[in-house]
Every structure is written in structure tokens, then in C-alpha cells.
Chains A and B, each alone.
Chain A
Amino acid sequence: NAGVTQTPKFRILKIGQSMTLQCTQDMNHNYMYWYRQDPGMGLKLIYYSVGAGITDKGEVPNGYNVSRSTTEDFPLRLELAAPSQTSVYFCASSYDGSPNQPQHFGDGTRLSIL
């Protein structure tokens, strides 16, 4: 099992550009999450999904969109990149939402907006 795979690992964007961060998991997990990690801050939840076709906002959703057309994939889209979106982005998945289920994280995407 590859686990949770994120692409790309690094990206530099210009202000106003758009891009999609890819996330795929091969563990047949129902729940998937997108977090951002800013220097000196804890991870913040952007969006999450409890299954194919179902997504919901997290703590910091502004400027992002997601879709979940399959169980495996949960892409995160930035439509108009802004410097405030410079961060490290982590995708995670869990089998379900119960408290005793661990979240499995990808290796992260480091994104810089210049």
C-alpha cells in the first residue's frame, strides 16, 4: 500500500494563478481531510469529506474548493492564489470518523505564492 500520496511536493505560483493539489489514498478510507500548516501554528482543517460525493468546510475554507468524485481521490483547488495561501498542505485519511481511528497523512505539498 502506498498510503496517502500527494502531488506535487513543491510548487511556486504567481498571485492570481490557480492550481490543484492532488491527493489519493489506496486504503479504502471513507474520510479524507485537507490541512494547512503555517510556521509556528498548529495544523488547521481546510475541508473534509466523509465519503464520495460529500464534502464540508473546516476551520479555514476561504479561497479553496474541493471535490470527492471517488473514494480514492480528494483534490484541493486554489482558484486565485494569494500570498496568504503560502503554506504546507497535508492531506489525510481515516477509515471512518470514530475517535479510535488514526489519521494517515501524506508527505505534504509546500506551496509558495509570490
Chain B
Amino acid sequence: KNEVEQSPQNLTAQEGEFITINCSYSVGISALHWLQQHPGGGIVSLFMLSSGKKKHGRLIATINIQEKHSSLHITASHPRDSAVYICAVRSYNTDKLIFGTGTRLQVFP
């Protein structure tokens, strides 16, 4: 079983829909990252969080440390949001990032 599990693996949506991507992890962590991988391959850091909730534009990330679960929400989705979204956790023991396999999101007009 992977230490970081994301769901769903693939997600399609119509423009304007509310999107939720989930991340569950099984190790102790000092931080959780959400990353966006563009269709061209580049990876961009979206959020780092260790508790609570963060918001940036139409993106919201939440984390529940007790339940070892995080969600990434996209409000009013747009075709330009189409990308792979990757959850990564900073292991408390090793200080290294452990990556999920990603969620591929396609938003259609």
C-alpha cells in the first residue's frame, strides 16, 4: 500500500463545476504539499500546509492531521485548470517528500 494515496486517479468536469481531489497518507508528516503538473510537464507548487486551510484564488486546500487526510478544491473550474494534481507529504522521520501518483483533471468547456 502506498504511503500517499490520491483519489480519484482521473477526473473529468464541465467548466464551472466544483472539483474535489483527495489525499490520504499513512506516515507522520511535518507538512503537506499540493503541486500542479502542466500538460507540458512542468511542476508548480500550489500550497504547503501543516494545519487548517489555505486559499489562493479559486483553489482551496484543507488538511485534517488527526484523520491524515487533505483535500484540494477548485471552485468554478475552467479548462485552464486541466492538469495533473500531485499530493506530497514531508515525512517527519526522513525529512523527505513522499509523492502520490497524481490526479489527472480534465475540464471541458
Cβ of B2 under 8 Å from chain A: yes
The residue that B95 contacts in the complex, of A97, A106, A110, with Cβ under 8 A, is A97
Max chain B Cβ within 10 angstroms of own Cβ: one of A40, A88, A105: A105
The residue that B45 contacts in the complex, of A43, A102, A107, with Cβ under 8 A, is A102
Interface residues of A in 56-93 (CB under 8 A from B): 58-59, 88, 90, 92
Q: Give how many A-B residue pairs fall within 8 Å (CB-CB).
A: 53
Known: A99-B30, A99-B50, A100-B48. A110 touches B41 (CB 8 A): yes
Q: Which residues of B contact A12 (CB under 8 A)?
A: none
A99 and B31 contact, CB distance less than 8 A: yes
Cβ of A53 under 8 Å from chain B: no
* Total number of A residues with any Cβ neighbor in B under 8 Å: 23
B96 and A58 contact, CB distance less than 8 A: yes
Q: Which residues of B contact A44 (CB under 8 A)?
A: 99
> For the complex, would chain B's binding face be called helix, strand, loop or mixed by DSSP majority?
strand
* Total number of B residues with any Cβ neighbor in A under 8 Å: 25
A42 and B4 contact, CB distance less than 8 A: yes
Cβ of B76 under 8 Å from chain A: no
Q: Which residues of B contact A107 (CB under 8 A)?
A: 40-42
Cβ of B105 under 8 Å from chain A: no
Q: Which residues of B contact A92 (CB under 8 A)?
A: 43
CA gap between A103 and B50 in the complex, in Å: 16
Cβ of B7 under 8 Å from chain A: no
4 tightest Cβ-Cβ pairs between the two chains A and B? A42-B99, A105-B43, A99-B30, A99-B31
Q: Beyond the given A43-B99, A88-B41, A99-B31, please list 16 additional residue pairs across the A-B interface where CB-CB is below 8 A.
A: A40-B101, A41-B101, A42-B4, A45-B96, A45-B97, A58-B96, A59-B96, A97-B95, A99-B48, A99-B50, A100-B31, A100-B50, A102-B33, A105-B42, A105-B44, A110-B41
